[in-house]
Structure 1
Amino acid sequence: MKRPHSLATRLFVTATAWVVVILLITGIILSSVYRGATERAFDRRLNLYLRTLVAEVASPPDPAEQQQTPSLGEPLFELPLSGWYWEIAPTDGDKTEIRASRSLWDKKLPKLEDQGAELTASGVRLGYVDGPEGQHLRLVERPVDLGADGKFRISVAGDATEITEETRAFDYYLGGTFAALSIVLVLTTLFQVRFGLVPLKRLSEAISDIRSGRTERLEGNYPAELAPLAREMNALLDANRAIVERARTHVGNLAHAIKTPLSVIVNEANTTRQNGSATDPLASKVLEQADVMRDQLTHHLERARIAARVTIIGTVTDVTPALEALCRTMEKIHRGCDIELKADGDAKFRGEKQDLEEMVGNLVDNACKWAEHHVTIVVEIERMGAHDPSPKLRIVVDDDGKGLSDAERAQVARRGQRLDETKPGSGLGLSIVVDLAALYGGGLTLGQAPIGGLRAELVLPAV
């Protein structure tokens, strides 16, 4: 079973993911905006050269100078195949002479018109083309109609590598800056999540202390967001205690209300039998059923009392001192029976001491009745895996008696069932242990002891 992630982990992962996504989107937008700005600056440069050429073509000083090559003041236009070119090409059928920059050498510039580029509002065409030697060029093209002097297509192209390199350099700086910013934001988020959830962790530990019996209420100051929760939790604990106290009172009242009439019935039956025949069948039957009723009443009232007490949160019992006292008492009752206790000194039972004594006392008393000479009690704490982090208290009682078969073990666990009527008891001992263990969320299993007799294994909640 996959272990669920903690709230802090989920918050950190979610916040980090959002930081990365936001920075990535922001980086893409900024890179696109910067590339657009670089292209516009590059286009302004090309348009400046274009306007100079248009002016040269539109107003030649005299027919002799018209054939001179226009000067744009840019040395790259003089360097062959430099990536910077201009071209003036007539577009009417009467003229075929093309003037171009020296850098173009004997090549020609592509026509944006042939590539489907549309004229902009300023009357030019803009776009990327492949120039001489496979160069990637940014080209601006403008048609000019000089009337009688003819029609021309004036083109200026620049090496688009400048745009690409400028944008790439910006992307590198932007990526480095955003990477550093991401690290700072992630560390800040980690700090906020780690220390922002400290009050929740403190609240969880306080509730754990209440459940384990170390404290009775949520104490301390909590943030404004958690203070109402702490108050409601304390109010719930107070209401739980009040309900338990009322339940105990009702159980005690019920016990007195039923036991008094039952005692009257028993006394009347005894009086009738004493005044009449000692074998009066009616008096004997009344006394017999009264004993059964008293046993059942004691059993169910005890169960109700334990059920009310189990609902109290935070009761913890040290196991070793309680069992040591129990062993001394049992050795006095069952003389000749040696009881050996092997207990973990740190073992603690999450429940009340008298309930632990009643459960273990029934098991040890039963073991001493059937043992030849020796009874062993082993107490240990079991730490469960990640799927069940609550520790368990395991108490194993072995005797060296004759033991029981599988069928007999199933029978004795039922209420009122006795295998040997020669031994004293009502047959309610093991059933009481089963019921009390179940109320605490534990259980009782019977098996074969390594020393030959019966093994009773009691599992209860621990701390």
Structure 2
Amino acid sequence: MRAKSLATRLFLSATAWVVVILLITGIILSSVYKRSVERAFDRRLNFYLRTLIAEAAQPDDPADKNDKTDKGDKSADRSVQSLGEPLFELPLSGWYWRMARVDGDKPEVRASRSLWDATLPKLEDMGIELDQSGVRLAYVKGPEDQHLRMVERPVDLGTEGKYLASVAGDATEIDDETWAFNTYLAATFAALTVGLLLTTIFQVRFGLAPLKRISSSLAAIRSGDAERLEGEFPEEIAPLARETNALLDANRAIVERSRTHVGNLAHAIKTPLSVIVNEAGTHGLDPFAMKILEQADIMRDQVAHHLERARIAARAQTIGTVTEVAPVIGALARTMEKIHRDRDILIDVDAAAGAKFRGERQDLEEMTGNLVDNACKWAEQQVRIEVLLELTPGGPLNPTLRIIVDDDGPGLSPEQRVQVAGRGQRLDETKPGSGLGLSIVTDLAALYGGSLKLGAAPIGGLRAELVLPGV
């Protein structure tokens, strides 16, 4: 599974935090609003409760009572029944009041018409204590399982006795108000979430743009199109760009020093070897002189081989060196045709357009030159060179360059292929060479992270397949 990009991780992290913060804020606001609605509802219930107690505590005037009875006027009773709220007279409306005497032998109960034949529970019996204002408040289940908010207060009316006054209201009003608020709140927070996420996307996209520029610049350096990170960067990113450029400069300096040391060493060894060879050559066919000349030639080959390895090892670490493959192969084919013109060797080249080698030209010439020269030595009439650029599972930034050299010569058995890969191994002493060609190719390819494979060619001889990093 591929790791998530930095932008994706930042976006997911920001999204999670936005959702969590808004969720917590929504819960808090919803709770605060519901509590506010409850307090407003409780104030309404307490107003009705105080009105009820005031009406109940008002002494009756006998003259007024007789006068109203004679006239059949029920206005006073209706005033107590409604408390200024018509819902107290509508049967089972959800709004009820009740006055119940709690002392004396004979119970006395007065209730609103809306209560009909039902009754209200006692909060005292439910274990609810009086609060600081001397009332009890709670949600209860009313007639027909109605959801009620109820307030209850004990009242001492002196000579008229002690009563328990209760007023209950339909609590669905609280639920409806809270539900409406939650709906508006959810819609508002949803819009806010979308806005914040869009803002986050904008910030992440433009905030990480300098890093994308650095990534593109590094890719250009790897492909050989640039040598340094160029352009202006934000002050947070500028140190990274400076250190990267410093690393590139230090890398190039190390390579140059290595090349200088290799050249100095080659020059220092070349002169003594030349003196030895010249002195031995003055002795003609003397066996001792011949042995010295033989060993001097071996020393030259070995020194050249190891110096070349050191030179290539230094250059292989260079970042941003790229070589066009087709021109190198074409020039090499023309050179080999001239060298082997007496044998009429035909060299057929099929190179993919745009194929590039991630390395220096002289190293590519060294490797392919050894392979093509070896093929021309053993070919009967034909040598084929094919260049392929293939994408690897690593992605388009890491293609593989394949250079395939086939000849129509006698070829090699599997055992012989293993043998010729060794340093200095020659199967036929009649052919010119030191036996180091394939070994040099193998070592140089390995320094670039590549390889050399030997097999059977479709045209009858040996196939040498060189695998190298491409661009």
Which position in structure 2 is the counterpart of 1:236? 247
Between the aligned partners of 1:157 and 1:48, the Cα distance in structure 2 is: 12
- One of 145, 169, 177 as aligned partner of 1:166: 177
**Residues 305-357 of structure 1 deviation map (CA, whole Å, 9 limit, x = unaligned):** 11111222111111111111100000111121110000111111111111111
The amino acid across from 1:381 in the alignment is L
Question: Which moved further from structure 2: 146-155 or 194-203?
Answer: 146-155
CA distance in 2, matches of 1:245, 1:385: 34
- Tell me if 1:406 matches 2:403: no
Q: Does 2:190 correspond to 1:179?
A: yes
* Number of aligned residue pairs: 457
Structure 1 residues 245-284: aligned runs within 5 Å = 245-271=256-282, 273-274=283-284, 278-280=285-287, 282-284=288-290
User: Residues of 2 paired with 1:325 and 1:401: CA distance?
Assistant: 23
- Residues 50-87 of structure 1, C-alpha deviations (whole Å, 9 max, x = no match): 1111222334344786x946141000001110000000
Matched, 1:375 2:383: yes
- Following superposition, the deviation at residue 211 of structure 1 comes to 1.3
1:395 matched to 2:406: no
Q: Does 1:209 align with 2:216?
A: no
Residue 398 of structure 1: how far off its partner (Å): 0.7
SS across alignment from 1:390: strand
Secondary structure, aligned partner of 2:426? coil
Q: Tell me the residue number matched to 1:133.
A: 144
The farther-off stretch of 370-379 and 385-394 is 385-394
Give 1:22 deviation, angstroms.
1.2
1:94 and 2:93 correspond: no
User: Shift of the alpha carbon at 1:248?
Assistant: 1.0
| SS at structure 2 position matched to 1:295 | helix
Amino acid at match of 1:309: R
Secondary structure of residue in 1 paired with 2:392: coil
Alignment counterpart, residue 441 of structure 2, candidates 415, 433, 437: 433
* Separation in structure 2 between the aligned mates of residue 156 and residue 266 of structure 1, nearest angstrom: 125
Tell me the equivalent position of 1:303: 309
Counterpart of 1:420 in structure 2 is 428
Q: Distance in 2 between matches of 1:288 and 1:144?
A: 130
| Structure 2: segments with no counterpart, 5+ residues | 66-75
Cα distance, 1:387 vs. partner?
6.2
Residues 207-256 of structure 1 show CA distances to partners (whole Å, capped at 9, x for unaligned) of 11111110111110111111111111111111111111111111111111
The equivalent position to 1:149 in structure 2, one of 151, 160, 174, is 160
| One-letter amino acid of the structure 2 residue matched with residue 41 of structure 1 | A
Tell me the distance in 1 between the aligned counterparts of 2:383 and 2:103. Answer: 122
Further displaced range: 90-99 or 222-231: 90-99
Residue 117 of structure 1 is matched in structure 2 by 128
Aligned to 2:361: 353
- Give 1:326's aligned residue: 332
Matched, 1:76 2:117: no
Counterpart CA distance in 1 for 2:395 and 2:349 is 31
| Unaligned 5+ runs, structure 1 | none
- 1:419-441 Cα deviation digits (max 9, x unpaired): 11111100000111111111111
SS in 1 for 2:168: strand
Q: How far apart are the structure 1 equivalents of 2:131 and 2:61?
A: 32
CA distance in 2, matches of 1:404, 1:377: 18
Q: Which amino acid aligns with 1:128?
A: Y
Q: Which amino acid aligns with 1:7?
A: L
Distance 1:12 1:153 in 2: 61
1:332 to 1:223, Cα distance in 2 relative to 1, 3 A: same
TM-superposed CA distance for 1:265, in Å, is 2.2
Partner residue, 1:30: 29
Q: TM-score, normalised by structure 2?
A: 0.94
1:457 is paired with a residue whose SS is strand
Alpha-carbon distance, 1:146 to partner:
3.1
- CA distance in structure 2 between the partners assigned to 1:91 and 1:431 by the alignment: 114
CA–CA distance in structure 1, aligned partners of residues 201 and 190 of structure 2: 16
Once residues 388 and 182 of structure 2 are traced to their aligned partners in structure 1, the CA distance between those partners, rounded to angstroms, is 65
Residues 324 and 27 of structure 1: is their aligned pair in 2 closer, same or farther, counting only changes over 3 Å?
same
Q: For 1:177 and 1:143, how far apart are their aligned partners in 2?
A: 45
Q: Secondary structure at the match of 2:403?
A: strand
**Alpha-carbon distance, 1:206 to partner:** 0.5
Q: Shift of residue 43 of structure 1? A: 0.5
What's the counterpart of residue 300 of structure 2? 294
The residue type paired with residue 315 of structure 2 is R
Shift of 1:259: 1.9
Find the aligned partners of 1:386 and 1:123 in 2 and give their Cα distance. Answer: 79
Partners in 2 of 1:116 and 1:291 — Cα distance?
113
Residue 2 of structure 2 aligns to a residue whose secondary structure is coil
Provide the C-alpha distance between the structure 2 equivalents of 1:400 and 1:112, rounded to a whole number of angstroms. 108
Give the distance between the partners of 1:423 and 1:58, measured in 2 at CA: 134
The separation in 2 between residues aligned to 1:25 and 1:154, in whole angstroms, is: 40
> Aligned letter for 2:33?
Y
Shift of residue 108, structure 1, vs aligned partner: 0.6
- Counterpart amino acid of 1:380? L
Partner of 1:316: 322
The separation in 2 between residues aligned to 1:300 and 1:236, in whole angstroms, is 28
If the length of structure 1 is used for normalisation, what is the TM-score?
A: 0.95
**Pairwise CA RMSD:** 1.7
**Partner amino acid for 1:35?**
K
